[in-house]
């Protein structure tokens, strides 16, 4: 696709995300996403996070395979998950599941303190190179087990998980600040999954509520060379 075609497709996608927000307000409580989130979605070039053979579908509002059994999330889902974190520019956020780096780049447009973990070494390495090339070299990226989080950098103001565990990892709850927000899909693959939003209470518990029905790849345990 030419640059002008990619730009037009990107604008259409932003309009579709705005429409999706209105359509799902009964689930999320948000009929419109914040200006900061929508500006990030409009700025990050999603086609840069997919191979050349997939540029024609880069701005389609659906997930795409990136290999190793992983996907780059549907743009609307990236937007709604980012919005549900209620990020401030000073917030420190942990992402579990770097993938190609697209969600991390969107987060980095909203806050300057992004930490991202990826369990597949090859994806972590390629994402690091891609993010640096695109100017997102402030993102701190690590190859490791997302179930254990990033303890030495905790606590975090927000945690976002881009793959579905069957149960919410305790370590991630522990690494959230009081008042911090967590957003993640929960459930088995090929079974009903629910996007949950949590807030950490003063007593150390994280109170979760359900939002959207979703479909994510499963969250895997342990750092992997390959899947």
| Backbone φ and ψ of 188, nearest 5° | -75, 155
3-state percent helix, strand, coil for the chain, nearest multiple of 5 = 40, 25, 35
134: DSSP letter: T
Task: Find out whether 179 and 115 touch, Cβ atoms under 8 Å.
Answer: no
Burial group, residue 107, by CB count within 10 angstroms (0-12, 13-18, 19+)? buried
Out of 73, 100, 116, 119, the active site residue is 73
Four-point Cα dihedral 120, 158, 200, 33, nearest 10:
-120
Separation between Cα atoms, residue 186 and residue 166, nearest integer Å? 6
Q: What is the DSSP letter of 96?
A: E
2 is a catalytic site residue: no
So which residues are the catalytic ones? 73
């Amino acid at each position: 696709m030419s640059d002008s075609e990619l730009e037009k497709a990107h604008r259409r996608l932003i309009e579709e995300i705005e429409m999706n927000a209105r359509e799902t307000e009964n689930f999320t409580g948000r009929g419109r996403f914040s200006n900061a989130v929508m500006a990030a979605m409009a700025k990050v070039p999603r086609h840069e996070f997919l191979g050349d053979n997939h540029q024609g579908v880069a701005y389609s509002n659906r997930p795409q395979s990136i290999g190793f059994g992983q996907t780059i999330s549907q743009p609307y889902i990236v937007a709604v998950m980012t919005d549900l974190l209620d990020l401030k520019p000073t917030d420190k956020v942990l992402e579990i599941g770097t993938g190609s780096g697209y969600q991390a780049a969107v987060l980095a447009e909203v806050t300057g303190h992004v930490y991202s973990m990826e369990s597949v070494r090859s994806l972590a390495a390629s994402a690091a190179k891609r993010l640096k090339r695109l100017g997102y070299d402030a993102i701190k990226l690590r190859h490791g087990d997302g179930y254990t989080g990033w303890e030495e950098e905790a606590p975090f103001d927000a945690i976002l998980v881009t793959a579905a565990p069957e149960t919410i990892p305790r370590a991630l709850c522990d690494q959230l600040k009081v008042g911090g927000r967590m957003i993640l899909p929960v459930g088995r693959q090929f079974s009903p999954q629910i996007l949950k939003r949590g807030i950490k209470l003063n007593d150390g518990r994280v109170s979760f509520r359900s939002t959207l029905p979703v479909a994510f790849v499963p969250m895997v345990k342990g750092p992997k060379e390959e899947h």
